[in-house]
Structure 1
Amino acid sequence: MGSVPNVYSMLKEQLAGTGAEVITPDSEKYAGSIKRWSEHCIKQAQAVVLVSSADDISKTLIFVREHSVPFVVRGGGHSTSGASSIEDGLVIDLSKLRQVTVDTDKKTIKAGGGTIWEDVDVEAAKYGLATVGGTVNHTGVGGLTLGGGYGYLSGKYGLTIDNLVSVDIVLASGEQVVASETSHPDLFWAVRGAGQNFGVVTAFTFQGYDQKEPVFAGTLVFLPDKIPQIVSFVNKFHEVNDGNQAMLWGFSAPPPMKAPVVLAQCFYNGTEEQGKEFFSDLINIGPIVNPLASVPYEKLNAMLNPASGFDGRKQFGGGAFKLPLKPDYVQALHAEFTSFVDSHEKMNESLMLFETVPYKKVVEVPNEKMAFSNRGDYYNVATCFKWFDASLDQEVREFSRNLLKKASQTAGVEQDEKIRSEQGVGQYGNYANVDVPVAEIFGKNSKKLEELKHKYDPDNLFSRGLRLVPRPLVIVN
């Protein structure tokens, strides 16, 4: 590769007059351009190109191929795997591509590749519509969608990718195509679960649904001694929900008190009266904080934002659990989680979350229908550790992995070959690190993905995320 100043000066020349902007370390905008949701994912890129169109991306991909420039793609910058950051190359930043348009006749929502879920929620709400999005609205649409996408509406409409109509995507060759069930259907199969390995998506078109009325939601806060009663309600939830409800519950010690509590984010797609009746047994347990109320849908995905700020180092991890649960199992996990957090300074905002999002609609789609392979008779359990001391990075990662492995084994959802062959893999790709074996994320779909990778990206240009091929392929100049 040529010297850093020379190669990026050439890129600036090639993109001159296009609306794209090439930011280098001497620019005033540089610090903001490499900022990420997790501080441990901030890397000193040699340059950042803020693209403004699919043509800009095509030109940039052709350029990086010709000059063997390593690169990554940034959508919302919300991942904790570090896959959208780079030290030794270029970031293709999509944050200018934030236009959202709604087709009221088809009830579809088209979102640019750099949008966040707030953009989609707010624009769709103007037309009384919504689609399945994330539970934190500053999450990027691209990252969540390409990895699967669970949300409050999943119980009724399935995953985000189940509601994806098409994508506009720039391939490794620079070619711009639309992938859907009728156009490049094999690519569309791969994009839904492994999309970051196949190109740069410049726009997503989602199916929207009528959502004109408010929803009933909020976060109840309990003292840890209520865990047995909470588990009892969760077990009941599993039996009586009809897909219009969701419950995200788990452990943390958030400010201002910074004391261990159990949080329960409740959602009911209906009236306040209906929601109170459905969650009455949980409410009657006696939360110390109860803000449950009717809210507009577009405000729902902002409720967890205060617990998801941009400061600190963060690490996602994922596993799975089955219902019903036993209280002593949950209490043991709580004790282990709390002990670790309490023994480290400034880690109290860490979270272990049992994502009780109804999955009957999700499992109606077979795992072989698309690349995504985490459909089964179980729920996701996640950790999001937050800390500030860089020397703890490895310790936090190992503890999270071991805790989630223990949680999955105890709950009867071990990530072994039997599980991966009979149902879903028990591992949500959006919570995984890039070094996880491909079979743990894609199970029986791994071989087909490798074949499609050779078809659509034969030189492995998109190689910085989860690797679908056994080894990096040589980039041909």
Structure 2
Amino acid sequence: METLAIQGGIEILTVESGEAYAAALRRNSDLSVLPAKYVVYPVIYEDISSILSYALTHRQGGGAHSSTWASSNGGVVIDLGKLKKVTIFEDKQYITVQGGALWGDVYEVTAREHVDVVGSPLWFVGVGGFTLGGGYGPLSGQYGLAIDNMISATVVLANGRIVKTSREEEPDLFWAIRGGGGQFGIVVDITFKLHSAVGPIGCGIISYPGSELDQLLNIIGDWKRTMTPQERFTMSFSRPAPHFKPSIVILPTILHDQDGSKSQEVLKPFREGSANPSFYNIGQVPNMLAVSHSADVALSTAPRSLVIRGTLFSDFFPELLLTVWEKWVEFTEGNEDVRASTVLWDLTHPGSITGVSSADTALPVRSPHYWMAVQGRSTTAISIKAAQEFATSVVSFVRSKNTELSGKDLGWFLNLTQGDESAEDVFGTNLPRLSKLKARYDPKKVWSKGLVIDPAKLT
């Protein structure tokens, strides 16, 4: 491995590198960290081919998730952190983002150029992992998922070959990486479609005591009937300091709110409806860069022992959400160590998401739906298992209850899995095609982290 550094200028960190090595291992959750033997930073795409050749003869970026997919116990981590260039085309119709970029890197450029792209609501999320799993973001109601806005990509395959992929070049690979995750190669850059700027953006916090949940769900049911693709929110069950009482917190995002009047009108039912907010503070920010930093203060104090699981659901069924509320209140009431655990519910207009066929990309769910997630957080090692079990039990309940109430089993959402789920439950009817493409592009399962797709047995 040291020879690669001499030949190509690749930066290689080991435990002997001290703080630099420790910093390289750091992830959004402490539970995601494994002690790699080498952390390798390629500086050009060809470096990755050399690293793969070394790794294979001696026998992925990311890190915002709570799994260990972007870590390795005693192995090699290829960190794309030095490949994070963001380039806007001269006509401002497209943007190319290297695989090591975070969405904050992208938003700094789009804010400066007064354009926008479908991306994550959080700046520290990696572009590659977010996109390959689907990419639900604040602009998805209006413009679809991140994968629906992909124009092309550059991929380093398991055999070291570097290929361009699009609807015209390697179209099967292009189909697979749009919702199939990191099972087909290392995506070292992606070109996205750009959109006109969506700012100013209305955002802020609306908070309710838990006793208002029944009335709030009635408001949400009515609000959904008239909402437009430019309006969305994330709702959380949480216990904010200093009183730590069970609360419902809504974080809205209202696009194209030029003077604040749009947010005031759109959010009026949440302010003056049958549910009484304990806190209401809505203002304007100029762009997605500001939106992506809006959760920084809250996250800075959150316990770093974090497990995330999530799934998809068809509608905001009161019976579903009220039962999850009861489960969450009981769990966080009985153990102060896990009091920071939250349940998130995303309400994004499904119109543009459903405008794509389930066969057009590897992502199989294109019927109207939303996503939810459980963030199990623990302040002590002894409570980590309880947080993990709680997250697993709640998302399993949501999936089964949603199937009962809607008549549709939506399976699991790839970006919120932990890797022990079955591929059939994630990819559904698209799995047979994905298995055939796995056999073509990665027959030896070099990419075997996370939710693994087995190569089809070709006859």
Q: Normalising by the residue count of structure 1, what TM-score does the alignment of the two structures yield? A: 0.90
Partner SS state of residue 56, structure 1: helix
Structure 1 residue 414, shift from structure 2 partner: 7.7
**1:133 alignment counterpart:** 119
> 2:203·2:285 contact (CA, 8 Å) conserved in 1?
yes
The residue type paired with residue 120 of structure 1 is V
Contact 1:255 1:349 in 2 (8 A): no
Query: Is the aligned partner of 1:464 residue 2:455?
Result: no
The sequence identity of aligned pairs, in percent, is 28
Q: CA deviation at 1:329?
A: 4.4
Question: Partners in 1 of 2:417 and 2:81 — Cα distance?
Answer: 23
1:286 is the counterpart of 2:272: no
CA–CA separation in structure 2 for the residues paired with 1:141 and 1:414? 34
Deviation at 1:288, TM superposition (A): 2.4
Measure the CA separation in 2 of the matches of 1:39 and 1:213: 35
CA contact (8 A) 2:312 2:399 kept: yes
Q: Which one-letter code corresponds to 2:452 in the other structure?
A: R
* 3-state SS in 1 of match to 2:252: strand
Q: How many residues align?
A: 450
Is residue 149 from structure 1 mapped to residue 135 from structure 2 by the alignment? yes
Residue 227 (structure 1) aligns with: 213
> Equivalent residues in 2 for 1:425-436 (5 A)?
425-436=410-421
Give the alignment of 1:16-415 within 5 angstroms. 16-28=6-18, 29-68=20-59, 73=60, 75-211=61-197, 213-271=199-257, 272-284=260-272, 285-297=275-287, 298-309=289-300, 311-323=303-315, 325-326=317-318, 329-412=320-403
Secondary structure of the structure 2 residue equivalent to 1:44 = coil
- Aligned equivalents of 1:187, 1:196: Cα separation in 2: 11
Query: Against the structure 1 CA distance between its residues 254 and 19, is the aligned structure 2 distance closer, same or farther, given a 3 Å change threshold?
Result: farther
Distance 2:405 2:55 in 1: 41
Give the match for residue 5 of structure 1.
none
SS of the residue 1:193 aligns to: coil
| Residue 37 of structure 1, CA deviation | 0.7
Q: Once the 2 structures are TM-superposed, how far is the Cα of residue 356 of structure 1 from its aligned partner?
A: 0.7
The RMSD of aligned alpha carbons is 2.0
Matches of 2:214 and 2:421 in 1, distance apart? 34
**Structure 1 residues 261 and 128: alpha-carbon distance in aligned structure 2, compared to 1, 3 A threshold:** same
* Separation in 2, partners of 1:306, 1:427: 30
Q: 1:13 and 2:3 equivalent? A: yes
State TM-score, norm by structure 2.
Answer: 0.93
Distance 1:237 1:217, change over 3 A: same
Cα distance 1:257–1:112, how it changes in 2: closer, same or farther (>3 A)? farther
In 2, the alpha carbon distance for the partners of 1:414 and 1:315 equals: 27
* Alpha-carbon distance between aligned partners in 2 of 1:414 and 1:438, rounded to the nearest angstrom: 24
Out of 462-471 and 176-185, give the one that drifted further: 462-471
Q: Please report how far the alpha carbon of residue 306 of structure 1 lies from its aligned counterpart in structure 2 after TM superposition.
A: 3.0
Alpha-carbon contact 2:99-2:189 (below 8 Å) kept: yes
Deviation at 1:342, TM superposition (A): 2.2
In structure 2, the residue corresponding to 1:361 is in which secondary structure? helix
Q: How far 1:413 moved relative to its partner?
A: 6.0
The gaps in structure 1 that reach 5 residues or longer are: 1-10, 473-477
Residue by residue over 1:177-235, the C-alpha shift from the partner in whole angstroms, topping out at 9 and shown as x without a partner, is: 11111110000000111231111111111111001631111121111111122111211
1:59 aligned partner, one-letter code = S
